[in-house]
Amino acid sequence: MFLFPGTFRYLPIQAILLPSGIISVTVFSYLHLSYYGKASDEVVCPVSIGVIITLMCLSPGLIFIALFVIPGLCYGQLQPLLNPFFSIPFILGNIGIVLGALSMFAMLRINRIRKVPGELRLKPKRWKTKGLWLSIAILTVGVIIAGASVLSGPVGKTEVAYDVRLDTGTSEEETTFFLPVPIDESIREVADVMNELNVVDGTADWEIVDTAHGKALEVRTKAKCVLSAEKECGYKGWEEGDEWLYIYNFSMLQRINRNDYEVRVFASTANATLRIRLSMDDGINNVLGYISVGSTPTDPFTYEVPLKEGWQTVKLARSLMCYD
């Protein structure tokens, strides 16, 4: 299915200015058109006002079509337009196009204005003129912001997630694990996502400690447990988001080749299993992830890695997934 990745900058401001501008320009344009219509057999509009109204009405609709409708047609999917988030701007944009077309038609009929008594040739009331220019200013600012938003590209809400699944196996005694933790390479410290770490399944005690191999998550448990942490890291653009994906890494990490890594882990008893995952989503179209991989006699490829007693290395697979 075709989706629109990320969002655009200054979207709340656009959501206020563009509809407000379209509606107010429509109202004051009608007041002006009704006035000038009294001086002609048909609806007419002065050239200066007509050009501005036409451009202001057409711009939002054409911007929306260029951003969403045309890409949707290219992918053969217009279902996202049914979402209120897109359908309301789509409807307003089409109204703007219709009003722009009507304004253009009225403007082209200006040569049909006939000579009339002086009272009809007076300028419209001042509040109507000021209202129209204020409406045009609002819509102009909205269009400029929308254009700047498009040129700067979309932004995505970035998120980092870390989770660990542990199983002590057949052991009935408490098992202690030392596991790698996410490291923020930009500050060389444990990533603040660990402030959000919680036990979401089972029971366990945990803390972050120093070991001979680096920072580690010490977990003590007697049964299966799951620890998980998620944190939103703000909105970022294309380039900033790409750089952000790679600032997180694991502690106690060793690189084998381009996509394969190893991390050191510790288990105080044998026959335990581990699954560990770290993922970074830039909110636009990329997810970078690390996940433990291992093998058993019955499963040559498994994310649930069997552990021996003591310190050992566990292989990690790194993958970059792109989505639309």
Locate tokens 């944009």: which residue?
93
Does one domain contain both 139 and 163?
no
Can you give the pLDDT at residue 170?
Answer: 77
Nearest to 157 by CA among 229, 85, 234: 234
- Last residue within a domain, chosen from 127, 152, 177: 152
Domain annotation covers residue 46: yes
- 217 or 85: whose pLDDT is higher? 217
Rounded distance, CA 160 to CA 25, Å?
44
**Mean pLDDT value across residues 107-120:** 50
Can you give the pLDDT at residue 198?
Answer: 95
Mean pLDDT of the residues in the chain: 76
The whole domain housing 93 covers 7-152
Does one domain contain both 27 and 112?
yes
Residue 1 burial class via C-beta count within 10 angstroms: exposed 0-12, middle 13-18, buried 19 and up: exposed
Can you give the pLDDT at residue 206?
Answer: 95
Does one domain contain both 299 and 180?
yes
Largest CA distance in the chain: 103
Domain count, the chain: 2
Angle at 317 between CA 312 and CA 322, to 5 degrees: 160
Domain annotation covers residue 1: no
Instruction: Confirm whether pTM is higher than 0.85.
Output: no
